[in-house]
Structure 1
Amino acid sequence: MCQLLGMNCNTPTDVQFSFTGFAQRGGRTDHHADGWGIAFFEDRGLRHFVDHAPACDSPVAQLIRSYPIKSRNVIAHIRKATQGQVNLQNCHPFVRELWGRYWVFAHNGDLKDFHPRLHGHFRPVGNTDSERAFCWLMQELVKSHADVPSVDELTLTLRELAPRIARHGTFNFMLSNGQALWAHASTHLWSVERQHPFAEARLADEDLSIDFAQHTTPQDRVAVVVTSPLTTNETWTPFAPGELRVFRDGRQILAAT
């Protein structure tokens, strides 16, 4: 199946270190070689890159590894196709506009017999189960809210909607509208929060380490979520099956229940 990477920060931060290790799983240290993509929020704007080539060899991925794009919310994906052809329109993350904001979604898993009725503005461009799930989520958000909901309100809605999709199979996903990062696990997701005092981290998929203390201030906070831990010397926290976590300003928050 596919792999996911998300980053949420309290100040614009580049994802070069994490993405360098993550991209190696796209055909070099793992077999997820059917395309990749990444989206960076910048205020209300969005930089969105996708490529159907393997991430480990893609010139576009090399650009991301060498270009320090700074963002407070990032979602990346490397694809192992289970449904849909290997082409550009089936590459995650997917992007839609709602209530004057961009929404970004990426999914890891395989949803069986999931063909919801889509009757509104949101229709898939490609033919993956993942994009159908995203379109359905957006359609249901429109039914549930008249305008952009608060982070807590959106969390409550997603907690109601996610199990309705997850009953069709594995539904690990990440979602952001630039205000926060939502991550849901059916099977495997892990998170780590980096804060002062920062230390050195070593990648698991690449012979590379970084001393974050040399690149941060004491006020910085960064949360990273990934399908399997990217580093060998940090304490990653696994998600429980069915768990939805919300990250804002570089830390997990406890939304209203």
Structure 2
Amino acid sequence: MCQLLGMNCNVPTDICFSFTGFQARGGLTDHHRDGWGIAFFEGRGARVFLDPMPSVESPVAELVRHYPIRSLNVIAHIRKATLGEVRLENTHPFQRELWGRYWIFAHNGHLRDYAPRLSGRFLPVGDTDSELAFCHVLDTLAQRFPEPPAPAELFEALRELAAEIGAHGTFNFLLSNGERLFAHCASLLSYIVRAAPFAHAHLADQDVTVDFNDLTTPDDRVAVIATTPLTDNEQWERIPPGTLLAFHLGMPEAHAQTGAASAENVTNGA
């Protein structure tokens, strides 16, 4: 199973602490060695790093781990290949433009007998079921909404698509347009919201501890989403299978539902 990591905040925040533990899952504390990637939204832009090497051996991953890029939305992925060779074009997360904004997507799972019809506006570059699903999602949204829909309409459309695509297999995913981060759990996904009063956190995959009181202000709020909890001394919330959550300003939005089928300030160190 691939590994997913997402972050959504109310102020730009770096992900160095979480990424330190996450990086270890790419060949040190887990057997996922088929590439990794991470995307940071910066304003309307997106800074994306991809490498088909295992994250524990990747010089690019070391750069990211020590580079405090601050962002409101981050998506990272460590790949265990099930469909598609280990190549750069098959490395998550994937990036496309829709409605004048970049969209970033990463998938954990495997889809079987999945061959959606695409209009041609969004086409996969590689040969993974994940990139094909991403193109299908954006293609459907573009046809359904000529202009950007209201957040509740977008959420409902994504919930329907998650159930439709998920009927073909396991469809855990993270998706963001830089404003919101959507997390769909088909089998395994958890999250934590860190807000005042902050505490110490210890990584499960590395012997690293941080005191968030030294790195935050009382108004800061950060949501971190991962396939399995990254820390072993905090209370993570398990997302029920079949659930889509939309994270905005560091917390889940109220319209999150369960499907039947399946800034100006700067914060450091999520």
2:96 maps to 1:96: yes
2:203–2:230: 8 Å Cα contact kept in structure 1? Answer: yes
Q: Work out the percentage of aligned pairs sharing the same amino acid.
A: 60
- CA–CA separation in structure 2 for the residues paired with 1:76 and 1:56: 14
2:210 maps to 1:210: yes
SS at match of 2:154: helix
2:21–2:203: 8 Å Cα contact kept in structure 1? Answer: yes
- CA–CA separation in structure 2 for the residues paired with 1:155 and 1:164: 14
1:151–1:179: 8 Å Cα contact kept in structure 2? Answer: no
Instruction: State the superposition RMSD in angstroms.
Output: 0.9
- CA–CA separation in structure 1 for the residues paired with 2:136 and 2:16: 32
Aligned to 2:6: 6
- CA–CA separation in structure 1 for the residues paired with 2:70 and 2:109: 29
Structure 2: segments with no counterpart, 5+ residues: 258-270
Aligned to 1:42: 42
- CA–CA separation in structure 1 for the residues paired with 2:87 and 2:21: 23
2:245–2:256: 8 Å Cα contact kept in structure 1? Answer: no
Deviations 1:190-245 (A, max 9, x none): 00000001110000000101000000000000000000000001100101110001
Aligned to 2:56: 56
Aligned to 1:161: 161
Q: How does 1:107-186 map to 2 (within 5 A)?
A: 107-186=107-186
Deviations 1:53-99 (A, max 9, x none): 00011000000100000000000000000000000000000000011
For residue 119 of structure 1, report the CA deviation from its aligned partner: 2.0
Deviations 1:154-196 (A, max 9, x none): 1111111111100000000000000110000110000000000
For residue 255 of structure 1, report the CA deviation from its aligned partner: 1.9
- CA–CA separation in structure 1 for the residues paired with 2:112 and 2:64: 33
2:251 maps to 1:251: yes
SS at match of 2:57: coil
Aligned to 1:87: 87
- CA–CA separation in structure 1 for the residues paired with 2:100 and 2:246: 22
- CA–CA separation in structure 2 for the residues paired with 1:244 and 1:108: 14
Aligned to 1:236: 236
| One-letter amino acid of the counterpart of residue 89, structure 1 | E
* Structure 1 residues 37 and 256: alpha-carbon distance in aligned structure 2, compared to 1, 3 A threshold: closer
For residue 256 of structure 1, report the CA deviation from its aligned partner: 7.5
Structure 1: segments with no counterpart, 5+ residues: none
| One-letter amino acid of the counterpart of residue 225, structure 2 | V
- CA–CA separation in structure 2 for the residues paired with 1:62 and 1:219: 30
2:246–2:256: 8 Å Cα contact kept in structure 1? Answer: no
Aligned to 2:188: 188
For residue 151 of structure 1, report the CA deviation from its aligned partner: 2.1
2:108–2:170: 8 Å Cα contact kept in structure 1? Answer: yes
| One-letter amino acid of the counterpart of residue 93, structure 1 | P
* Structure 1 residues 19 and 85: alpha-carbon distance in aligned structure 2, compared to 1, 3 A threshold: same
Aligned to 2:262: none
* Number of positions where the alignment pairs a residue of Structure 1 with one of Structure 2: 257
- TM-score for the superposition, normalised by structure 1: 0.98
- CA–CA separation in structure 1 for the residues paired with 2:241 and 2:251: 20
Aligned to 2:19: 19
- CA–CA separation in structure 2 for the residues paired with 1:76 and 1:158: 20
1:156–1:256: 8 Å Cα contact kept in structure 2? Answer: no
- CA–CA separation in structure 1 for the residues paired with 2:56 and 2:151: 35
| Over 4 Å off, 4+ runs | none
